[in-house]
Chain A
Amino acid sequence: MLVVLISIVIGFLMVVVFRYTSDQKAIRIAKDQLKAHLLAVRLFQDQLPVVLSSYGRIVRGTGRYLQLAFRPLLFVIFPLTLLVVQLDRYLGWTGLPTGEPFLIKAQAADSDVLNTIDLRLPPGLETTAPAVHVPTENAIVWRVVAHEPGNYNVNVGPSEKAFSKRVSVSHGLERISPVRLRGGFWERMLLSAEPALPTDSPIRSIEVGYPSRSIPFIGFEWNWIWLFFVLSLLAGFLFKSMLGIEI
């Protein structure tokens, strides 16, 4: 229900933004001309040179239309991306279930430090198998199980310099950060919801294997992005007709 509501609101906002940030007249003309060239293919179908030149015009017209239609995108791409990223923190994954094992993976800066890295768990979490070293990836993987719901901090790293990583064990809607990263502003912005690891840290990332969230809707299980895609588009097309906006 939340995704439906968000999709409708964003669909509405997007067509309004589209209306005021696009050249409506140019878009209308570009679309009309595309339609004209499509009709030309049908009307003059027995005249090969006309048909071929119409195809060329269709391709050029499509490029022109895409260009005009993406201009409004420039205005919304950053705020919308940030919004989608934040929504993804809540809707992209579910919290970890109790009693079912999950993986915690640490990726080291280089293979030399792999042997010095260990995992320290708070009460309520415990490992169910020895750590597995993957030298080709400079990674160590632990299999862990949670006994009680709650938000935990696990510590990963050499004993003298460990780094914490939040672990959510819950059935509800939680803000979930599947990975804690050392650097890369954009990567961190788009994937993580935790402070960065220090730049001199021997660990590049600590990742918790949260299960993806599926949303039941009209008899299907949906990833929220796809549901958002479909519903916001439908809402957008509905509102654009109601508001007389050229898209």
Chain B
Amino acid sequence: MTALDPAEIRALDAILEELDYYQVLELVPGAPTSAIRSAYHQASRRFHPDGHRARHPELQPPLARISKRVAEAYSVLRDPRRRQVYDRQLAADRNTLRMPLVQAEAEADRQRREAREGRTPNGRRYFALAQRDLASGNHVAAERNLRTALTFEPDNALFRETLAQLKKR
């Protein structure tokens, strides 16, 4: 496909373990979702082993390693939920550059759930009770339950927001 510089491939292969997914796809960390697919295509045009099989058989192993990492980066970054989890992981620890896909999935599920229902068992429980009270119009009980939920998760934005809205009424 595109002309290829064997030295560049070997150099990239050598530093593969030091690159985060954005660097693998040559993206800036805030890149829009639409840019991710084209970055994946561009990287595949350059590094997919098939494209260089005839001319550079000796480069197949490094190209395969690079392509695997490209596919992995794409699998995480194209999925907004996985990407969010990955971004947090990267922010927390600059040295954890990879993330198992399944873990990313499970973590995204967990985070989504926590965002919707609360992070701690008791927080979830009282928040659920508060929602039930709200649905049945029992605002006093709802406020009490929300406050209790907030004692378990003082920084929970959803709980605070719900309480603030309740107070407005």
Q: Do A and B belong to a common assembly? A: no
